[in-house]
């Protein structure tokens, strides 16, 4: 795949809210996506290029810097936000843990390394938390189903979701004070997540908050996890986990999740079981977390839910019985935002997280 860059004549959309042009970068294991956002949220340009994952962390940082330069040749941006794979601590700017998808990625000084290469102040976070950012913002945005109906606050006061005392509706419809609360899970090649409580995204020690795939799951009992432990949700619920479960049931290797989904659609009972067991494990875990956190909204994204209603129906059927009475109206929902969610959320990090500045003392 060759690198590409092109201007995009799009209309304004809910944007990073920085008051200035900013760059958003989304780093995945195979692709880097970049976008330049105007102050009003309009996408001014886009760029994509492959991730040189096998070449090591320094090469990846160079590629990220190249993507930023390609999307903003006129140096319009005042800051850069990056959503990156791995466990990212936005305060230190370090990748504190990562798989070997990107060689040598764990321990990378992401914030300072990218700031020094680009000359922009850089905010960084885990890719799933960044993707969840627009979902959290939408909870308090006027005109959304979950937004408060009170008038706008006086000029100079903080809007709901940013430290104000604006009212919010709970899952039962009652009003409560504070910003929105969100439980977000992304089920794909792994199981990642994000948790926001009363308008505030949780990061936790070393940036590890939200790694929902490493919750214990009875359905995965005894199965080894990539983190070194056993019995974690990701082992049974991720795309590779579902495919591996099908292989355990049948003794027949499969190349990918879509193969299992196609066989389920043709009536293969083992394929149906592999998918529904993974979906139900996710639903039960989310239901338990909902009781602990009291979210206004539960969002299920990633590639796995897109295989069809078999997955979604099984997840919901397992989720609902776990809920305590005040949450009985809560249901898992798909993401509101599409392919731009990660780069848009990355750009918005520049308003909420520490900025790592070029040439700063380390």
Instruction: Tell me what pLDDT residue 143 has.
Output: 56
Instruction: Tell me what pLDDT residue 101 has.
Output: 85
In this structure, what token pair is assigned to residue 180? 């929105």
Task: Please report which confidence band the pLDDT of residue 139 belongs to, taking 50, 70 and 90 as the band edges.
Answer: confident
Q: Are 83 and 345 in contact (CB under 8 A)?
A: yes
What span, in angstroms and rounded, lies between the C-alpha atoms of 54 and 92? 25
Indicate the pairing of strand 332-333 with strand 297-301. Answer: parallel
Residues 215-257: tens digit of each pLDDT: 999 999 999 998 899 999 999 999 999 999 999 999 999 999 9
Residues 304-339: tens digit of each pLDDT: 999 999 999 999 999 999 999 999 999 999 999 888
Reply yes or no on whether the pLDDT at 80 is more than 70: yes
Name the least confident of 23-37, 95-109, 149-163.
149-163
Name every residue whose Cβ is closer than 8 Å to that of residue 87 and which is 6 or more positions away in sequence: 95, 96, 97, 98, 126, 206, 207, 208, 211
Reply yes or no on whether the pLDDT at 3 is more than 70: no
In this structure, what token pair is assigned to residue 50? 């492959």
State whether residue 333 is helix, strand or coil.
strand
In DSSP terms, 232 is beta-bridged to 216
- Residue 292: Cβ within 10 Å count: 10
Reply yes or no on whether the pLDDT at 16 is more than 90: no
Residues 254-311: tens digit of each pLDDT: 999 999 999 999 999 999 999 999 999 999 999 999 999 999 999 999 999 999 999 9
Instruction: Tell me what pLDDT residue 102 has.
Output: 92
Instruction: Tell me what pLDDT residue 358 has.
Output: 94
What span, in angstroms and rounded, lies between the C-alpha atoms of 338 and 84? 18
Instruction: Tell me what pLDDT residue 322 has.
Output: 98
State whether residue 219 is helix, strand or coil.
helix
State whether residue 27 is helix, strand or coil.
strand
Residues 187-217: tens digit of each pLDDT: 998 999 999 999 999 999 988 999 999 999 9
Instruction: Tell me what pLDDT residue 144 has.
Output: 55
What span, in angstroms and rounded, lies between the C-alpha atoms of 13 and 6? 18
Task: Please report which confidence band the pLDDT of residue 142 belongs to, taking 50, 70 and 90 as the band edges.
Answer: low
Residue bearing tokens 């997955």: 311
Instruction: Tell me what pLDDT residue 362 has.
Output: 57
What span, in angstroms and rounded, lies between the C-alpha atoms of 344 and 241? 30
Instruction: Tell me what pLDDT residue 99 has.
Output: 83
Instruction: Tell me what pLDDT residue 226 has.
Output: 85
* Residue from 286, 321, 310 nearest 300 by CA: 286
pTM for the complete prediction? 0.82
> Mean pLDDT throughout 8-34?
72
> Looking at residue 205, what DSSP letter applies?
G
Task: Please report which confidence band the pLDDT of residue 13 belongs to, taking 50, 70 and 90 as the band edges.
Answer: very low
Task: Please report which confidence band the pLDDT of residue 21 belongs to, taking 50, 70 and 90 as the band edges.
Answer: very high
What span, in angstroms and rounded, lies between the C-alpha atoms of 135 and 137? 5
Name every residue whose Cβ is closer than 8 Å to that of residue 307 and which is 6 or more positions away in sequence: 257, 258, 261, 275
What span, in angstroms and rounded, lies between the C-alpha atoms of 337 and 136? 11
Instruction: Tell me what pLDDT residue 14 has.
Output: 39
């Amino acid at each position: 795949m060759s690198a590409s860059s092109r201007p995009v004549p799009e209309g304004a959309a809910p944007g990073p809210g920085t008051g200035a042009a900013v760059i958003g970068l989304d780093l995945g294991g195979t692709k880097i996506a970049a976008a330049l956002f105007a102050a009003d949220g309009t996408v001014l340009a886009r760029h994509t290029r492959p991730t040189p994952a096998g070449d090591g962390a320094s090469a990846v940082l160079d590629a990220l810097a190249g993507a930023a330069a390609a999307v903003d040749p006129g140096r319009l941006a005042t800051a850069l936000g990056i959503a990156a794979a791995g466990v990212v601590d936005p305060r230190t700017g370090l990748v504190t843990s990562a798989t070997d998808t990107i060689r040598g990625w764990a321990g990378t000084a992401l914030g300072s390394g990218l700031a020094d290469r680009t000359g922009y102040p850089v905010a960084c976070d885990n890719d799933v938390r960044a993707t969840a950012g627009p979902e959290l913002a939408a909870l308090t945005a006027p005109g959304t189903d979950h937004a408060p109906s009170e008038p706008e606050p006086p000029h100079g006061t903080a809007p709901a979701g940013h430290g104000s005392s604006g009212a919010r509706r709970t899952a039962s419809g009652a009003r409560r004070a504070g910003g929105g609360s969100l439980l977000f899970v992304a089920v794909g090649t792994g199981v990642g997540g994000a948790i926001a409580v009363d308008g505030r995204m949780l990061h936790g020690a070393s940036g590890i908050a939200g790694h929902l795939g490493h919750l214990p799951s009875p359905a995965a009992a005894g199965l080894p996890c990539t983190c070194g432990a056993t019995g974690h949700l990701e082992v049974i619920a991720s795309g590779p986990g579902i495919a591996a479960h099908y292989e355990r049931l049948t003794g027949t290797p499969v190349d990918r999740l879509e193969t299992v989904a196609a066989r389920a659609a043709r009536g293969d009972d083992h394929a149906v079981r592999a998918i529904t067991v993974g979906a139900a494990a996710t639903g039960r875990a989310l239901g338990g977390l909902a009781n602990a956190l009291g979210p206004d909204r539960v969002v299920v994204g990633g590639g796995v839910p897109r295989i069809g209603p078999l997955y979604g129906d099984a997840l919901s059927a397992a989720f609902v019985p776990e809920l305590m009475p005040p949450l009985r109206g809560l249901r898992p929902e798909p993401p509101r935002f599409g392919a731009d969610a990660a780069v848009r959320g990355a750009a918005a990090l520049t308003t909420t997280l520490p900025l790592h500045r070029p040439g700063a003392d380390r």
